C-alpha cells in the first residue's frame, strides 16, 4: 500500500488547474539562469572553508571579495550554535554584499574521518557553501545538493588541498549545472514528447537511451526517478517489482534514440493525464526556470497521488454499492490516467479479493468502452 504519510501537502483538490498552478509563483519569477536567459541572470557562487577547532579558514570562493566576510560571519555563527551537523545540508537565506543582496545558501559540514594520527580532528572538516536563487528554490533540490556535496568527499583528503585547482574548484564550479539544471535539459531535449517520459515514470516502464552521451543518459534517468512514485510503496520495494507489468497487455520498454533532433521514440505511450502537463513544462522551460520546473514536476506527482487516493476510496465503497461502482467508473473516465491507476490499485489490493473483483469489473467496463 502507498505510504501517504511520507507525502506532505496542505490540501487536496480534484481540479487539474489547481494542481498544475504553482503556489507563490512570484518566488521563482526572478530565478533565471546565467547563460540561458537574455533578460534576467541568476548568479551562482560557491565557497569552501577549512574548519578546525572553532576557526574557519577560507580555502576558495567565487564570491566577490567584499561579500565573503559576510558569509564567514554567518557560518561562524551557525557553527557556534551547533546548527551545522556533519554531512547534513542546511538551507537558509543569507544577506551578502552582492547584487542579489539576499540569496539562498546551502551549507554542509563534511567532517574529516578520525584516525590515530589525528586524534584531535573529531568535528573538524570542511564547510562548503553553495549560493544561488532563493531558499525555497534550493529546498526543491535538497537531495541532489546533498548527493553532489558527498561526491566531493574523496577529493578532500588533506588540509593543504593540493588538488584545489585540478579537482575541487572545477567540481564546485559545476554545482548548479549538475544539481539543478538536469530537469531543464531533459524538457528541452524532449519538448512535446515529455509526456511519454512522464507516463513511463508513472507506469514504471523501463527506458533505454541510445546514441547519446553519458550526461544525457544520466539526466533522463534522474528525471524519471524524480517523476516516479517509486519508493512510496510498502509492498513493492524493488525497481524490478515496480517495473513488472501488472496488466494483461505486454508493456514494452520506451526507447529514446538521440541520434536525431528531437530524439526518435519507439514504443512511446502516453495518456490524457500526462498530455495535460506538457504546456506547463514547456512554458517554464522557455523561461529558463529550473525551480519552477521542479515545482511543476512535484505538482504532477501530487496530482497522481491524489487520484490514487480517490480511486482507492471509490474501490472500497464500490465493494458495497453499485452506485459507488458507477462513480468509480466515471472517475476513471474523466481522470485520463485510468490504466496507470488501475495497475497501481491492483498491486495495492492484491490480498483483498473483494477489491480485486471490483477492479476486474472496472477494467471490463473500460475495455468495452474502448472497443465501442
What's the mean pLDDT when you consider all of the chain? 83
Residue 371, pLDDT above cutoff 80: no
- For residue 24, pLDDT over 60 is answered with no
pLDDT, mean of residues 44-66: 94
Q: For residue 64, what pLDDT is reported?
A: 95
Spell out the SS3 assignment of 261-312. CCCEEECCCCCHHHHCCHHHHHHHHHCCCHHHHHHHHHHHHHHHHHHHHHHH
Higher pLDDT residue, 234 or 144?
144
Q: Is residue 17 very low, low, confident or very high in pLDDT (cuts 50, 70, 90)?
A: low
Q: What is the average pLDDT across 83-102?
A: 87
Q: How far is it, in rounded angstroms, from Cα 258 to Cα 265?
A: 9
Asked whether the beta carbons of 348 and 242 are under 8 A apart, the reply is no
The residue with cell 500526462 is 274
Confidence of residue 21 (pLDDT cuts 50, 70, 90): low
The answer on pLDDT for 29 being more than 90 is: no
pLDDT of residue 265: 97
Q: What is the mean pLDDT of residues 252-267?
A: 95
Instruction: Answer yes or no: is pLDDT of 240 > 60.
Output: no
The larger pLDDT score, comparing residue 25 to residue 131, is at 131
Instruction: Write the CA distances from 28 to 25, 42, 69, 288, integer angstroms.
Output: 6, 11, 27, 11
Q: Does 349 have pLDDT greater than 90?
A: no
CB 296 within 8 A of CB 281: yes
| pLDDT above 90 for 292 | yes
Asked whether residue 2 carries a pLDDT value surpassing 80, the answer given is no
Taking the C-alpha atoms of residue 146 and residue 86, their distance in angstroms, rounded to an integer, is 12
Task: Report CA Rg, the chain.
Answer: 24
Select the more confidently predicted residue: 341 or 23.
341
Are 68 and 61 within 8 A, CB to CB? yes
- pLDDT reading at 256 higher than 90: yes
% of residues, the chain, pLDDT over 70: 80
Q: How far apart are CA 47 and CA 336, in angstroms?
A: 47
3-state secondary structure of 37: coil
Residue 347, pLDDT score: 79
Amino acid at each position: 500500500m502507498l505510504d501517504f504519510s511520507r507525502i506532505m501537502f496542505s490540501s487536496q483538490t480534484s481540479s487539474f488547474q489547481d494542481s498544475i498552478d504553482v503556489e507563490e509563483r512570484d518566488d521563482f519569477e526572478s530565478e533565471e539562469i546565467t547563460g540561458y536567459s537574455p533578460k534576467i541572470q541568476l548568479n551562482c557562487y560557491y565557497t569552501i572553508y577549512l574548519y578546525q577547532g572553532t576557526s574557519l579558514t577560507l580555502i576558495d570562493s567565487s564570491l566577490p571579495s567584499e561579500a565573503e566576510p559576510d558569509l564567514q560571519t554567518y557560518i561562524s555563527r551557525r557553527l557556534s550554535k551547533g546548527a551545522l551537523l556533519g554531512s547534513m545540508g542546511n538551507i537558509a537565506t543569507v544577506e551578502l554584499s552582492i547584487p542579489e543582496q539576499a540569496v539562498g545558501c546551502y551549507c554542509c559540514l563534511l567532517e574529516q574521518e578520525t584516525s590515530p594520527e589525528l586524534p584531535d580532528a573529531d568535528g573538524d572538516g570542511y564547510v562548503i557553501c553553495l549560493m544561488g536563487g532563493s531558499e525555497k528554490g534550493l529546498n526543491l533540490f535538497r537531495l541532489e545538493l546533498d548527493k553532489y556535496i558527498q561526491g566531493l568527499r574523496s577529493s578532500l583528503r588533506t588540509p593543504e588541498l593540493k588538488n584545489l585547482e585540478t579537482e575541487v574548484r572545477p567540481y564546485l564550479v559545476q554545482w548548479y549545472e549538475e544539481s539543478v539544471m538536469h530537469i531543464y535539459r531533459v524538457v528541452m531535449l524532449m519538448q512535446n514528447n515529455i509526456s511519454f517520459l512522464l507516463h513511463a515514470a508513472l507506469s514504471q516502464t523501463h527506458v533505454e537511451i541510445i546514441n547519446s552521451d553519458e550526461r544525457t543518459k544520466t539526466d533522463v534517468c534522474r528525471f524519471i526517478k524524480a517523476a516516479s512514485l517509486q519508493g512510496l510503496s510498502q509492498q513493492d520495494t524493488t525497481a524490478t517489482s515496480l517495473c513488472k507489468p501488472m496488466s494483461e497487455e505486454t508493456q514494452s520498454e520506451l526507447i529514446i534514440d538521440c541520434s536525431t533532433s528531437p530524439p526518435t521514440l519507439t514504443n512511446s505511450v502516453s495518456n490524457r493525464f500526462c498530455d495535460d502537463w506538457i504546456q506547463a513544462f514547456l512554458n517554464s522551460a522557455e523561461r529558463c526556470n529550473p525551480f519552477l520546473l521542479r515545482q511543476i514536476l512535484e505538482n504532477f506527482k501530487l496530482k497522481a497521488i491524489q487520484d490514487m487516493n480517490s480511486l482507492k476510496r471509490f474501490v472500497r465503497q464500490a465493494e458495497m454499492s453499485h452506485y459507488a461502482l458507477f462513480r468509480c467508473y466515471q472517475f476513471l473516465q474523466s481522470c485520463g490516467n485510468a490504466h496507470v491507476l488501475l495497475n497501481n490499485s491492483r498491486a495495492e489490493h492484491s490480498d483483498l479479493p473483494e477489491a480485486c473483483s471490483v477492479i476486474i469489473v472496472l477494467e471490463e467496463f473500460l475495455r468495452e468502452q474502448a472497443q465501442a
